Structure 1
């Protein structure tokens, strides 16, 4: 029986932690690739030597050669510059656009049937670049956004109410930036609307904290950005494809008329299964929510327009 093959591009904190989650979940064999010689090899070997302790059987290899990624089922792009304090995700635009384009060309050369999951910031623009460069169908290319953003929002709510993290569900829509749209009206705690449990003032504060959740961590770390939650989030997306789970997750998906938008990637709820983004779900938004979503998507369009 052929095992799934997962390639992770970029062996920094996010990429290496993706490999860790993937191995722990036994999602398949893993290739960790990076331009830096020795880094992916060393981290892959370290993870392999944890296998006897943790009891997983994934084979993990590190490489600097894209030939070793051939035949991948899933490719996760984490390569790129990380944020520093005071930087927005959008500040990384020009630095990372070329990296994503080059990486994608190599991916499709060796793995033309792969699903490509993008983490590199600004993620909605990076996903757009990967899609346009790859020539793949839109269901096969999508980006990390709402799974991570909603996880942050859900964390704050669970801690506020002192309940299980698992019992909080939510969506965050729009671009993965400072004007993302946490959907308070579609947030539930054990099936109870969150607005019945937390005051508007407190919820507003949590919405703002979720929007700035990445920057809060960047400011603590000083050099580098979040990696545990982002990597866990994108590997949940990968797991949904590999196990055909058909979960409804908020991801940066290609819009083809949904929410009145076309030819753009933005965070929306979608069914994620064995065929990638199997369908985008259109929530019934009120005027205020739709206006916020349109503003967020326009920010993504503005960044795409800045690309050469």
Structure 2
């Protein structure tokens, strides 16, 4: 297949998938210039994510940053024949320049869990990385929409919020935990089980972004089909364990990098569309008051200011209500862990 045909196919794929989750309210006659930064652009998620953002016609400037290796990634991606101008930045000394003028900042930076590393070890490393990056965002592009991919998202979003508060730049409408992969998985598994066209399927996913905190609402899936109790339980568990499924399939040599990059690109596109005046509905982990938790993933309406409205949960089945009750303490603990990392005196 010719390179141009591949690019067209990828563009259509991203656009089609996004449109199934988008409510179009308005659009402008001319597309504004939009600068997007990917922090962690040389990593397993960052490289395919950078490529997908280069393919997105809404992106006019693409800034790729990592501690090393980024000039080569940027040179490679810059040869793709689409309109976005690409720059690569490597090392902390270039971070400010990478962020200058950004409308959207996507953060997949961090390290995967390695043999012998505890979850607490992983948290401390990634939490430190996120804290440093968010400090730079507060200084160089405080008005940008921040899309957090770095795990554990349930904790890294509160970390970002606390950093921004310390710098006087916190706007809860502009900070997101990217949970789109949970929606992508739920849609895929649901459509596959029932023989539906995945492009016509939507499944809201609420809660958080790890294990039992991921709560797909199959009772609200569309199109509506009959599911047995066993099917609901199996679909829910598979959605919750999707990351583990990939790690096991890769025999411990990788994680969900490609599907995460795809999901990250979908959500970034939704954010840009919102900034451009094309309001749309997405599930994402944000500051919220729809439960007694300070952060929660649910449907939100994206627009020119980021989050225009956090939408309610709707009617839950008994199974989903039980899942919601079960996830709260784990999610609450993860949120507090992130807050305490930035403010240890409150721990």
Interval containing the TM-score (normalised by the shorter chain): 0.7 to 0.9
Aligned to 2:33: 3
**C-alpha distance in 2, partners of 1:20/1:227?**
13
Give structure 1 stretches of 5+ with no counterpart.
none
Among residues 216, 231, 236, which one is paired with 2:245 in the alignment? 216
Question: TM-score, normalising length from structure 1?
Answer: 0.88
Q: Does 1:187 align with 2:218?
A: no
Q: Does 1:157 align with 2:187?
A: no
Aligned length: 293
* Residue 70 of structure 1: how far off its partner (Å): 0.6
Alpha carbons 2:154, 2:335 under 8 Å: kept: no
After alignment, is 265-274 or 77-86 more displaced? 77-86
Q: Tell me how far 1:30 sits from its aligned partner.
A: 0.5
Q: Describe the superposition over 1:114-170 as per-residue Cα deviations: whole angstroms up to 9, x where unpaired.
A: 11110000112101111221232100111111x210210111121222321111110
For 2:290, the equivalent position in structure 1 comes to 258
Matched, 1:170 2:170: no
Cα distance in structure 1, aligned partners of 2:331 and 2:260: 20
1:84-129: CA deviation from partner (whole Å, max 9, x where unpaired): 5898977732221111000100112111211111000011210111
Tell me which moved more, 77-86 or 113-122. Answer: 77-86
**Partner in structure 2 of residue 129 of structure 1:** 159
| CA–CA separation in structure 2 for the residues paired with 1:92 and 1:299 | 18
| 101-110 or 161-170: bigger deviation | 161-170
Q: 1:13 aligns with which of 44, 48, 54?
A: 44
- The answer for the alignment partner of 1:34 in structure 2 is 66
Contact (CA 8 Å) 1:83, 1:224: kept in 2 or not?
no
Q: What 5-or-longer segments of structure 2 have no aligned partner?
A: 1-30
- Residues 249 and 181 (structure 1 numbering): CA distance in 2 closer, same or farther, change over 3 Å? same
Deviations 1:234-256 (A, max 9, x none): 2222222222232211100111x
Q: Provide TM-score, normalisation by structure 2.
A: 0.78
Give the alignment of 1:84-99 within 5 angstroms.
84=114, 92-99=122-129
Indicate the larger mover: 223-232 or 109-118: 223-232
Partner of 1:59: 85
Q: Check conservation: 1:266, 1:297, Cα contact below 8 A.
A: no
In the alignment, the residues of structure 1 paired with residue 71 and residue 256 of structure 2 have an alpha-carbon distance, to the nearest angstrom, of 23
For residues 313 and 120 of structure 2, what CA distance do their matches in structure 1 show? 27
Query: In the aligned structure 2, how far is the partner of 1:181 from the partner of 1:226?
Result: 19
Identify the residue that residue 141 of structure 1 maps to in structure 2.
Answer: 175
Q: Residues 228 and 88 (structure 1 numbering): CA distance in 2 closer, same or farther, change over 3 Å?
A: farther
Q: Give secondary structure in 2 for the equivalent of 1:46.
A: helix
Distance 2:234 2:101 in 1: 46
Q: Is the 8 A contact 1:90 1:121 kept in 2?
A: no
Measure the CA separation in 2 of the matches of 1:294 and 1:88: 27
Task: Tell me how far apart the structure 1 counterparts of residues 99 and 70 of structure 2 sit (CA, whole Å).
Answer: 13
What's the C-alpha RMSD, in Å, of the aligned pairs? 2.2
From the superposition, tell whether residues 220 and 91 of structure 1 become closer, same or farther in structure 2 (CA, over 3 Å): farther
Matched, 1:204 2:237: no
Question: Displacement of 1:297 after TM fit?
Answer: 3.4
CA distance in 2, matches of 1:291, 1:89: 27
**Following the alignment from structure 2 to structure 1, what is the Cα–Cα distance between the partners of residues 116 and 189?**
23
Q: Distance in 2 between matches of 1:150 and 1:88?
A: 28
